[in-house]
Amino acid sequence: MAGVDRRTPIRILLATAEVGANAVVDGWIKTSRFSKNVSFLHLYDGSTPKTVQVVLKEEQAEMKAELGPGAAVRVTGTWVESKGGKQALEILAEEIVVVGEGNPTDYPIQRKQTSMEFLRTVAHLRPRTNTFQSVFRVRNALAWQVHKFFQDRGFLWIHTPIITASDAEGAGEMFRVQVGEDKEGFFGKEAFLTVSGQLAVENFAQAFTDVYTFGPTFRAENSNTARHAAEFWMIEPEIAFADLDDDIALAEDFIRTIANETIAQCREDFDFFDLRIEKDVSQFILETVNKPFARITHDEAQDLLAKSGRKFEHKVGRGEVLQTEHERFLAEEHFKGPVFVTDYPVEQKAFYMRLNDDERTVAATDLLVPRIGEIIGGSQREERLDVLKAQLDRFGLEEAPYWWYMDLRRFGTTPHAGFGLGFERMLMWITGMKNIRDVLPFPRTPGQAEF
């Protein structure tokens, strides 16, 4: 099918069609309607949320059994003005070739069975539904806008390894990589799937200044929530000669830009989310990201929660952990928008975060947003070798495996900072999708690795 013969996407056909011109469309049948007077097909091919309406000739209506939802067809005909109100032009069919039968009676995606839970059981076919067509077009656009943001600003995309020997977050939630029963044979040491590309990308920030990773990460945390997946994608910029303020400024610019650009790029898909998934979600997101983000310290946040008069399930007060209910209260109800919480108690965060002068808190930040809670985790990194060593010791981590990480602090160390954005959480946030399983092509969660 390569070369001059290659089909034209429906997106282009609809934008360029003229009355009287020949039409050739390849696509799948979304819906078909047969009646005495007139019969229609609606075709889609994934290139746009719009469908092409095809009007059948009387004798073609006899193909009814073959022309049900799910079938792949090639329609040849003529563009004519449409009598229905929904579209300007439609195709008057001359020839319909069934490229692949749809077996409409057996087709697993029937009109009535459209719950998200059901569609997860047919994850190989759900990309053909309206919701998942829009989700995965927006997922693609968001990924593109992530790269565009950094590339426009001269950041280098670094492909950090997926197989690693180091536990970047020190949380011990790693999947092991081994051949058969042999834990150390292949690599000569224990190896795991990465939980974050950060430690690896720091090496490149100390050579290229502005860098980022964007790839899959893996966490074996057994939390069966709507916001956790065992395999998810993370974007992690890392900037040298930079402190926490620079990091926060970058994060705010990043979230604002990619939200605006993705919604603009996929306007029609967002019309669908606005109507069917969460009322007016795109307007809410645009209003939310286009005003300045709030910023408070962890201590201030805890004080605010303690004085709120709210009953929370988990304890509040200085030194307590911010749970999702607290994060959502802060972003959704108090600030009514994104808020950076900074300066977390040292024992609540990872060993690599820069110790503040109070020696009680670290130069960390989480970005909390309405409806989701934490979407970004970041920090300024500890660039002082002696302090880093003391921190490794405090966290009960051995120095030996981090010899290269410590070398960065020996040879031309700089203040540097970075953050990690959970790609799926961002996608959920802007689309209004409620479950992380429904923004991943093939979700991996506890008990789920089918497809």
Among 102, 337, 378, 443, binds ligand 4AD (CB under 6 A): 378
Pairing of strands 416-422, 22-33: unpaired
Shortest distance, position 251 Cβ to ligand 4AD, whole Å: 10
* C-alpha to C-alpha distance for 179 and 187, rounded to whole angstroms: 10
Q: Is 377 in the site for ligand 4AD (CB under 6 A)?
A: yes
| Nearby residues of 271 by Cβ (< 8 Å), 6 or more positions away | 49, 282
Size of the residue set binding ligand 4AD (CB under 6 A): 24
**Near ligand 4AD by CB under 6 A, which window of 178-186, 226-234, 300-308, 320-328?**
226-234
Q: How many Å is the maximal CA-CA distance in the chain?
A: 84
**Near ligand 4AD by CB under 6 A, which window of 149-157, 251-259, 288-296, 369-377?**
369-377
Among 375, 392, 439, 440, binds ligand 4AD (CB under 6 A): 375
* C-alpha to C-alpha distance for 299 and 361, rounded to whole angstroms: 10
- Compose the 397-436 pattern: x for residues touching ligand 4AD by CB under 6 A, - for all others: ---------------------xxx-x-xx----------x
Residues 232/139, Cβ–Cβ less than 8 Å: no
**Segment 123 to 152, residues that bind ligand 4AD, using CB under 6 A:** none
Q: Which helix (H) or strand (E) segment is 94 a member of?
A: strand 89-100
Over the Cα atoms of the chain, what is R_g?
26
Q: Residue 183: left (phi > 0), alpha (psi -120 to 50), or beta? A: alpha
Shortest distance, position 277 Cβ to ligand 4AD, whole Å: 19
Q: Is 236 in the site for ligand 4AD (CB under 6 A)?
A: yes
Pairing of strands 52-55, 89-100: parallel
DSSP state string for 1-41: --GGGPPPPHHHHHHH--TT-EEEEEEEEEEEE--SS--EE
Shortest distance, position 444 Cβ to ligand 4AD, whole Å: 10
Q: Is 196 in the site for ligand 4AD (CB under 6 A)?
A: yes
Q: What's the CA dihedral at 393, 398, 404, 410 to 10 degrees?
A: 30
Nearer of residues 212 and 335 to ligand 4AD, judged by Cβ: 212
Among 191, 200, 234, 355, binds ligand 4AD (CB under 6 A): 234
* C-alpha to C-alpha distance for 5 and 249, rounded to whole angstroms: 49
Among 45, 169, 210, 438, binds ligand 4AD (CB under 6 A): 169
**Segment 342 to 361, residues that bind ligand 4AD, using CB under 6 A:** none
**Segment 149 to 168, residues that bind ligand 4AD, using CB under 6 A:** 168
Among 39, 48, 166, 198, binds ligand 4AD (CB under 6 A): 198
* C-alpha to C-alpha distance for 158 and 226, rounded to whole angstroms: 30
- What is the binding site for ligand 4AD (CB under 6 A)? 168-169, 196, 198, 219, 221, 228-229, 232, 234, 236, 374-379, 418-420, 422, 424-425, 436
